[in-house]
Amino acid sequence: MTHVLVIEDDTLVRDALVMTLTEAGYQVSDTPNGLSGLDAIKSQQPDLVLCDITMPGMSGFEVLRETRKDPATVDIPFICVTGRVEQEDRRIGMNLGADDYLTKPITREDLLSTIRYRLGQRAREMQKHEMTIHKLRDNIIYALPHELRTPLTHILGYAEIMKTSADSLTIDEVESMSGSIFRAGERLHHLFENYLVYAQLEMVTADSEYMARLRDEWTQDAASIIADSARTCARRHKREADLQLDLAKSDVRMAEYNLIKICSELIDNAFKFSKPGSPVQVMTIREGDCYHVQIRDRGHGMSVEQINSIGAYMQFDRALYEQQGVGMGFYLARRMVELHNGTFDVYSHPGKGTVVTFTLPA
């Protein structure tokens, strides 16, 4: 049975609310002041709180503030009850995290419809959260072991050879094997980093407060950040001569580490899936409040079906090109752009190359 907690210092109003909610089939508990109400919230963990704002001692706003501070109670729907209709009161309540307002005198219809709506909204949010957790769990269970197996096999295999055959190995063989171990370790590190970023993105999407902070960060001189990321990728693939830059200076509304992550993943894919000697172009332009970034290669390209099915664990034509990890990095870049209220577009044609364009607030 759904549990509603009523916090109200007016005995007549409190009794009327309790009677109405009980008749409607809810389990109801009540308390006459803010301090005892806050204790009840923490101890009883109700499904919804109906709280008067103007009370002696601890006000309803103070109860709300403390409720939102506690991770155990932060998600409980909180409806403010007030005898005043000032806009300032509503603004304060909403800033503190109130879900709704009811103004006295409260009709039975308004009371029950508001409670039903807020409980339904919470149920939908919980369902969405459960689906996210389920998706994350399944992806990690099925994808992570497969992605980790190849670099671990290289590391363990070459390490075993070096351990058991150290006396018979030449310097060139040791150098070759240690190089393979190092490259496999780098790949393993990159995989772990991407999985951690993926998990973080999936978990924080429903956190409006975190998302607001995320979207309020800035990077100054995005062009220099993008240029550094592009040159690092080019050096990694030993293709410095293939890199072409045409970058306009601008600040962007995104944290520097996120901009670096997006550009590194997309530019790395451009080098990874194109042949040495073919150009990889990175261009930017500032238009109004938007900063457009375009990354173009002349590589393998993707079909429309492949573009539409891009996800965190999609990897295209692995057997043909013997490459790993395109889906994860591509997905993370697109997701991060979208979470920052940006746009992300892909144009590609098999055998002719790929153009990725994303736009960020500036």
pLDDT at position 143 is 61
Q: Which two tokens stand for residue 29?
A: 């508990």
Residue 126 belongs to a domain: no
Q: Which two tokens stand for residue 65?
A: 């503030």
Residues 49 and 100 in one domain: yes
323 and 308 Cβ atoms separated by less than 8 Å: no
Residues 195 and 228 in one domain: no
Which of the listed residues 165, 183, 206 is the one where a domain comes to its end? Answer: 206
Task: Round to whole Å and give the CA distance between 31 and 9.
Answer: 8
Residues 259 and 193 in one domain: no
Measured in whole angstroms, the distance separating CA 293 from the mean position of its chain's CA atoms is: 21
Which of the listed residues 47, 72, 106 is the one where a domain comes to its end? Answer: 106
Residues 99 and 182 in one domain: no
Task: Round to whole Å and give the CA distance between 297 and 354.
Answer: 6
pLDDT at position 319 is 33
* Tally of domains within the chain: 3
Q: Render pLDDT for 221-250 as a digit per residue (tens, 0 to 9).
A: 999 999 999 999 999 999 999 999 999 999
| 243-271: b (≥16 Cβ within 10 Å) or e | beeebeebebbbbeebbbbbbbbbbbbbb
pLDDT at position 126 is 79
pTM across the whole model: 0.52
Residue given tokens 């238009």 in the structure block: 287
Residue 72 belongs to a domain: yes
Residues 229 and 320 in one domain: yes
Q: What are phi and psi of 347, to 5 degrees?
A: -125, 125
Residues 320 and 221 in one domain: yes
22 and 47 Cβ atoms separated by less than 8 Å: no
pLDDT at position 326 is 42
pLDDT at position 307 is 66
Residue 221 belongs to a domain: yes
Residues 54 and 72 in one domain: yes
Residue 29 belongs to a domain: yes
CATH number at residue 42: 3.40.50.2300
pLDDT < 50 positions in the chain: 312-326
Query: Which contiguous run of DSSP H or E holds residue 297?
Result: strand 290-297
pLDDT at position 313 is 42
- β-pair partners for 349: 353
Residues 317 and 180 in one domain: no
Domain that holds residue 242: 216-361
Query: Which contiguous run of DSSP H or E holds residue 354?
Result: strand 353-361
pLDDT at position 330 is 81
Angle in degrees, CA 347, 273, 311, rounded to 5: 60
Residues 222 and 308 in one domain: yes
Residues 249 and 197 in one domain: no
